[in-house]
Structure 1
Amino acid sequence: GRKGDEFAYSHVVARAFDTDHHQLRISSARLHDALQGAVAAMSEPMVSHDAVAFYLLSEEVSRHVKVVQSGQGADEVFAGYHWYPPLAGVDGDDAGATLDAYAGAFFDRAHGGVCDLLAPEWRLDHDASRALVAEHLSRPGAGTAVDRALRLDTQVMLVDDPVKRVDNMTMAWGLEARVPFLDHELVELAAACPPELKLASGGKGVLKEAARRIIPAEVIDRPKGYFPVPALSHLQGAELDLVADALHDPAAKERGLFAAGAVEALLRAPNDALTPLGGNTCWQLGLLELWLQAQGVR
């Protein structure tokens, strides 16, 4: 299974800078106990597994400091994600090709797949997500397909997902997270860099080269990772029970969001239905219901 720690790399950084290093190991029981608090702290449903990890990290950090710096934005500003390289060979003036390449690399579920999960009365007769992305990518002012995708991600995805997620989880504990990679002058400078400089070295090339004078190479050149929470990517035990209880709750049945049989099929095999980007569909549906119930939405 996936490892849930990055201590090997944090040790390297701690040694290089002689920092006062702290490790936080989270037991399964503590993770489970924190889920309800993390969900309640969300300003909207957030299916990313790392939300609860940031929640627990913020709880610990808030005992010692009240302001921290976060790396949010570096991937969106300097092209660090895996869906940018496929756009490098696409003609930026070809809106259809740009949309197809972006959707093929980044979209986590087809419109038909969403409809299969929803009750008929909640289904749209058109692909609203694709239409939103198509409109944004077609706007003037970005010269290449990569630049169009970066503009979309910095203006839409970044502010509505990772930045909001970290802000929600830190503020739940009275902790302020600042984002130096989103300093407007740095973002403007990065936007002016040719895409090939940003895509170099597996992404964030220009940032990596600037950092080599300071950051150890084994950290810069490591395989890209995220903030893994294995218990939510592979549901079992208490976490699966929590999801099942939420989806079977009378409020969920009264709401009737999901297609008949879809929930039971997922609960019978909760780890078989993975999205193209590796998300657990059962967790995603459960999280939506957990959030709605936490907010008292009927």
Structure 2
Amino acid sequence: MCGICGYYNGSSGEPASQAIIEHMTQLIHHRGPDDTGYHLDGPLGLGFARLSIIDLEGGHQPMCNETGEIWLVFNGEIWNYQELRKELIEKGHRFSTSSDSETIIHAYEEYGLDCFTRLHGMFGLVLWDAPRKRLLLARDRAGKKPLYYTHVNGTLVFGSEIKALLAHPGVKREPDIQAMADFLSVRYVPGPETLFANIYKVQPGHWLLYEHDTLQENCYWDYQFGKIEQQAEEDYIQGIRAHIWRAVEERMMADVPVGAMLSGGVDSSIITGIMSKLTNQKVKTFAVGFDHPDYSELPYARLVARHFGTDHHELVVKSSDMTQYWPLLTWHRDEPVSEPSDLGVYLISRLARQYVKVVLSGEGGDELFAGYPKYVVDWIAQYYHILPRVVRDNVIQQLLDRLPYSMRKLKNTARTLSQPAPQRWMSWFGIFNGPMKNELLSKHVLSSINMDAARAFQRWLSKNPQRDDLSAMLYLDTRIWLPDNLLMKGDKMTMAASLESRIPLLDYHLMEYAASIPSHNKIKPFRAKYLLKKAFTDFLPHPILTRKKMGFNVPTGIWFRGGQRNLITQLLLSDRLCSRGYFNEEFIARMLREHLEGRTNYQAQLFTLASLELWFRIFIDSPKLEKPELSVEELLAEDQKVAVSLS
């Protein structure tokens, strides 16, 4: 796990600057504090920050082949590198290291652009083919590792994090207003866009080729949910167990200590249990909770730790931690902190880094095996449409109107059942959509954007239609929600602590296998994640299998009404936010007032707006790119000092 960056003056041919490459690399030093490397070749410059995991002595990068013609910077791990290495040696390739990185170089020499289909791993990488003057960027199938780029005046600039690109003098720091509107809808920016104008993500399972001043994109991997092959349920159960066991075993490969992130949910508990069976040593596990009992999963994590005999470590996050680290998390994210759970991931990663260098985590199980409540609710939609219109519009809607405020999520979800699928799904987990978005955004912004935030969903489905609604939801969640939000959070927050995170449940063989299981086998009436739970019924403690799904919730709504009351008020009603001209100030003030008075719960909306404002202050307003050391209170105090001095 590392950080990579660089640029190529493909149009002008102007020599790359050592100083620029060093600055770009320095900004992502946290991703790889063990070693630093550079390579300049005329108009090309490559930078590398290494976190040593495999071949600690011989894995220095940038790395080249025997002739010095093919160069690589690579962030990630290749699980099948030993098999590939053997295959390539038999074809006459000579290796000088034992690292997985060198395997990529020889695979490119042997197979050209088809080499990526042979790589089984997680990666963001850049290859420089000097004889062809060809630059190649690629990202793993699931999008576990990030890779950004921009093409400015014939120069291609790239890196593991956006801040590295911003260090290049030709890259402007400007917000993308359309991307901002999309962020307000879903709390992340669907790829390939980012919140920065003209800066893009390499899409999962894609490569980019920059040659002869032309940028070409290609999708080398995609997959289909909801195939029609039917097997016995027991066959699926055995297949799931075998794939997950293999995936965990592969990801325990390392020359450094490996631990596990343990939430106490089904997915992380399965991974922890398998790890404990594959080693004679106690697995080190790490869990995080919050200073409010209704938001803490620590009792479940402790239960799993006792069941499998792990060496367990945990911490409790407080309201003051959020205000202290919020600016720093924003800097590491490169985009607004999409969810408060980033804080928990960051702090538990810092704790874990004191004991291990690699952790396994449980992302992906819900998206492959239908674990979220929304999948069950959408299953009900097929029956809702059978009802006569008069029953739907009169009887059911009148009943919904009488539901208490405590059942608002059910009420809002049920109201959308008659909408077309992509819009229905968007409204379920959206933050600002429909009337709220119209009220929030200024007339100037509304006149310049596309209000349909579901168009990213439709774009993916138009390329790869799925067999049924559940399959479409699962497909979209693996192609957009995971890489653009959850995996981004996991990568940025763990790498902020110089910790490598591996994700067994997003092994692409497992993804393809899960996708081949028909939808009616994955979900049963009011029973989410049916097959996965059944596959490990005899393996996990019973309370873990039967507990209500909690998610990684953070008590921000409570914090905003308590110790963070003044902070959130100052931030959202600040002159600086108002001066941007993007929002309706009266609507924000009304929403804030109603939340603070306890009349409704706008914690997600308030957090999203506050996160966006902090992003503007750190990346757009400030001329510097340095890591912020101030808390939110200290940032606001600095504002007040400036205001006083100006007056």
TM-score grouping bracket, smaller chain normalisation: 0.7 to 0.9
Bigger shift: residues 6-15 or 194-203:
194-203
Q: Aligned match of 2:577 in 247, 252, 272?
A: 252
Q: Does the 8 Å CA contact 1:243/1:287 hold for their aligned counterparts?
A: no
Equivalence for 2:531:
206
**Counterpart Cα distance in 2 of 1:105 and 1:216:** 32
Q: Does 1:54 align with 2:345?
A: yes
Q: Aligned match of 1:151 in 468, 472, 475?
A: 475
Q: Does 1:122 align with 2:445?
A: yes
Deviation at 1:90, TM superposition (A): 5.9
Deviation at 1:40, TM superposition (A): 2.3
**Counterpart Cα distance in 2 of 1:120 and 1:2:** 43
**Counterpart Cα distance in 2 of 1:285 and 1:129:** 17
TM (norm. structure 2) is 0.42
Q: Does 1:30 align with 2:30?
A: no
Deviation at 1:216, TM superposition (A): 1.2
**Counterpart Cα distance in 2 of 1:24 and 1:46:** 21
> What are the equivalent positions in structure 2 for 1:274-289 lying under 5 Å apart?
274=601, 279-289=603-613
> What are the equivalent positions in structure 2 for 1:1-298 lying under 5 Å apart?
3-88=294-379, 97-99=420-422, 101-124=424-447, 126-200=450-524, 202-232=527-557, 234-271=559-596, 272=599, 274=601, 279-297=603-621
Q: Does the 8 Å CA contact 2:338/2:485 hold for their aligned counterparts?
A: no
**Counterpart Cα distance in 2 of 1:101 and 1:254:** 34
Amino acid at match of 1:157: W
Aligned residues: 293
SS of alignment partner, residue 359 of structure 2? strand
Amino acid at match of 2:616: L
Bigger shift: residues 178-187 or 224-233:
224-233
**Counterpart Cα distance in 1 of 2:378 and 2:445:** 33
Deviation at 1:141, TM superposition (A): 4.0
Deviation at 1:263, TM superposition (A): 2.5
Q: Identical aligned pairs, as a percentage? A: 28
Provide Cα deviations, 1:129-172, integer angstroms capped at 9, x if missing partner: 13333444455441111101111111011110111112111111
Deviation at 1:233, TM superposition (A): 5.6
**Higher Rg of the two aligned structures:** 2
Larger fraction in strand: 2
Deviation at 1:67, TM superposition (A): 1.0
Amino acid at match of 2:350: E
Deviation at 1:228, TM superposition (A): 2.3
Structure 1 runs not aligned, ≥5 long: none
**Counterpart Cα distance in 1 of 2:557 and 2:346:** 14
**Counterpart Cα distance in 2 of 1:84 and 1:108:** 19
Amino acid at match of 1:130: A
CA shift in 2, pair 1:269/1:217, >3 Å: same
Provide Cα deviations, 1:80-115, integer angstroms capped at 9, x if missing partner: 111112333667xx9x74335434544444232112
Deviation at 1:71, TM superposition (A): 0.9
Larger fraction in helix: 1
**Counterpart Cα distance in 1 of 2:535 and 2:482:** 23
Bigger shift: residues 232-241 or 156-165:
232-241
Over the aligned positions, Cα root-mean-square deviation in angstroms equals 2.7
TM (norm. structure 1) is 0.87
**Counterpart Cα distance in 1 of 2:535 and 2:512:** 17
